[in-house]
Structure 1
Amino acid sequence: MGLWDSFEDVRGQQEVAQTGKRKYVCVTGNWSLLASWLVRALLEKGYNVRSTIRTTVDEAAALMALPGAEQRLELTQADMLDYGSLVEVFMGCDGVFHTSSPSDLVSNYPSEMADFEVRGTLNIVEACANSSVKRLVLTSSLAAMVWDQQRHADKVIDEKCWSNMDFCRSKKLWGPLAKTMAEKAAWSLARDKELDMVVINPAIVLGPKVFGTTQCIFTYLKGVKELPQSGLFAYAHVEDVAKAHISALEVSDASGRYICYESVVSEEKLVGLIRKLYPDSSVPSRFSKNGIPHVLSNDKLKSLGLALHAEQKLL
């Protein structure tokens, strides 16, 4: 361990002691852009981190190479469908982040995964309620809010909004359906168990990977059959989304759901962006120029004191 790493580790632990931040936390879910950033951000803030995200050998080695990881990162395994293994992993942790990948416009989400996601999420909630966990921060998705053909385009989408599950089924939108079902089930069980739970509903998560290339807008356009209704295409920088999760744990009066996005792109702008960034790529004919994006509100998220990145950093 180098001198700088030693300094960072000591500084992080002093910050925890001075501010009373929860020190022992667990990050669960699947390997994703968000999960890796969250682990890094937690280490930078001085937390001891226990991670159950599934990784390859190379990904695990990269995580363990992060500053502070050698001293404060524990990589372990837990099965989301095995309640007992989750309780064991959560013991001693004050906070848990369940970072199942946000569902956005991905059209290849398997329909059979919806039941798996619901059952796994319920196990997470149950295990948190029956262990030392003081707060669960759950990653849901903006997709659990926006899909509703009965909502007027002028209506502001905020934390009170839910996607219409019948509409999702009729359109075979299995990703948004799974996110809506899982989040609603989680809220019902958390209230029943009196578990302190906060939910982050991110838009499409973009930005540089902790290891490797940058994840950009075009990544999410491959295989997409249609944009959400009225051209809603919102996105957020991964660093902002990770910070939002940590704030949801640290801010004592944080509660309920928080929409996390930086900007909304209309279909017309999106088509222009594709042509500008990828001039050799054909613009899918399914994208029209007539979309009028819904109005989103992230005022509640801003109340946590977060400053979002500029648009240029997300392209």
Structure 2
Amino acid sequence: MNSEGGKVVCVTGASGYVASWIVKLLLLRGYTVRATVRNPSDTAKTEHLLALEGAKERLKVFKADLLEEFSFEQAIQGCDAVFHTASPVKFTVMDPQTELIDPAVKGTIDVLDTCRKISSVKRVILTSSMAAVLIRQPPLEPNDVVDETFFSDPSVCIESKLWYQLSKTLAENVAWQFAKDNGMDMVVINPGYIIGPLLLPTLNLSVEIIVDMVKGKNPLNCRYYRFVDVRDVALAHVKALESPSANGRYIISGQSVTINHIKETMRELFPDLCIDDMNGEGLMDGINCTMCVDKVKNLGVEFTPLKSSLRDTIISLKEKCLL
């Protein structure tokens, strides 16, 4: 499947960090894009999309909400494919069911059910997360090799009060069940922590990790981190549409590196940035296993080097006065 003939696609949650890049890439490749946002009149959510190359001719913004039944129908009608990226991203919540789980799960079912009813839709690409892969009991060990067959255990997420991870796991689980029950052609992308330049004007949670590190914090209190570039994640989504043989899940996650390596790299790139040292005592190793990314590489995705991602992230943060 390619963009020849001006294919029409829908991107849900289009104002988000990854979704904005998916929209940008689709427009550059000649697609007509229908972008859904909760509030089209909020310029902070739409201005960066409307400024993209090709947007004037081939981008239309629609109002849609994950908790409003049938609200995606207008945007999806007549589309060849749908990228479902919309899902709340919060790590601190008062009411996990209302703030995270209901929008993630109910929204996914509503979007997929709309796609089922609209015969023009040939494939759905769902944005999931490594959060739906890594939370297991017993915990993953350094010698473990994680691939697309690994799924997070909802009961472990609940016991550990990992509500975001639970929302992504439950949403992906219901999506696979729905796709199976309805014979739907669905591909799922499972990215890890994403960094890289921002198109949107505000800071998102994953790039905020880099801001915290510059300020001398260790946001996850971990010795090891693994990042993937937002442009690679966006490309994986588009390749998942354009490759007829694309199927199942695709893990896209960077190599494990130490917090000290990340800080040293940032100091080397930006000697003028005052990157504070921090106490390395009491750090958790985090999930320091091996990720098998052969499948996404076979899709045609080359990984951006971490140094380039860090450089472009910090340049972008400076340009938007977020650092």
CA distance in 1, matches of 2:236, 2:281: 33
The one-letter code matched in structure 1 to 2:236 is A
The one-letter code matched in structure 2 to 1:73 is L
Residues 53 and 40 (structure 1), Cα distance of their counterparts in 2 relative to 1, 3 Å cut: same
* Deviations 1:5-61 (CA, angstroms, capped at 9, x unpaired): xxxxxxxxxx833xx6x7100000263211111111110000000000346314423
* Deviations 1:281-305 (CA, angstroms, capped at 9, x unpaired): 4637675275671111110101111
Residues 171 and 211 (structure 1), Cα distance of their counterparts in 2 relative to 1, 3 Å cut: closer
Residues 286 and 95 (structure 1), Cα distance of their counterparts in 2 relative to 1, 3 Å cut: farther
Does residue 60 (structure 1) correspond to residue 46 (structure 2)? The answer is: yes
Does residue 173 (structure 1) correspond to residue 162 (structure 2)? The answer is: yes
Deviation of 1:151 after TM superposition, in Å, equals 4.3
What is aligned with 2:171?
182
What is aligned with 2:256?
264
Mapping 1:35-46, distance limit 5 Å:
35-46=19-30
Is the CA contact 1:200–1:258 (under 8 Å) kept in the aligned structure 2?
Answer: yes
Mapping 1:1-315, distance limit 5 Å:
16-17=3-4, 23-29=7-13, 31-54=15-38, 56-100=42-86, 107-109=91-93, 111-112=96-97, 113-131=100-118, 132-153=120-141, 154-212=143-201, 215=207, 217-219=209-211, 224=219, 226-227=221-222, 233-266=225-258, 269=261, 281=276, 283=278, 288=283, 293-315=288-310
* Deviations 1:113-135 (CA, angstroms, capped at 9, x unpaired): 11221111111111111112111
Is the CA contact 2:209–2:219 (under 8 Å) kept in the aligned structure 1?
Answer: no
CA distance in 1, matches of 2:282, 2:30: 45
Aligned residues: 293
* Deviations 1:127-176 (CA, angstroms, capped at 9, x unpaired): 11111211110000011111113145122111000112221111111111
Percent of matched pairs sharing the same residue: 37
- Superposition CA RMSD, Å: 2.9
The one-letter code matched in structure 1 to 2:109 is L
Of 22-31 and 246-255, more deviation after overlay is shown by 22-31
Q: Which runs of 5+ in 2 are unaligned?
A: 311-323
Aligned partner of residue 252 in structure 1, secondary structure: coil
The one-letter code matched in structure 2 to 1:78 is A
CA distance in 2, matches of 1:125, 1:240: 25
Deviation of 1:73 after TM superposition, in Å, equals 0.3
* Deviations 1:159-200 (CA, angstroms, capped at 9, x unpaired): 000112221111111111111111001100111111110000
CA distance in 2, matches of 1:224, 1:101: 22
CA distance in 2, matches of 1:247, 1:102: 24
TM-score scaled by structure 1? 0.82
Is the CA contact 1:206–1:236 (under 8 Å) kept in the aligned structure 2?
Answer: yes
CA distance in 2, matches of 1:167, 1:298: 25
Of 279-288 and 113-122, more deviation after overlay is shown by 279-288
CA distance in 2, matches of 1:109, 1:270: 29
Aligned partner of residue 71 in structure 1, secondary structure: helix
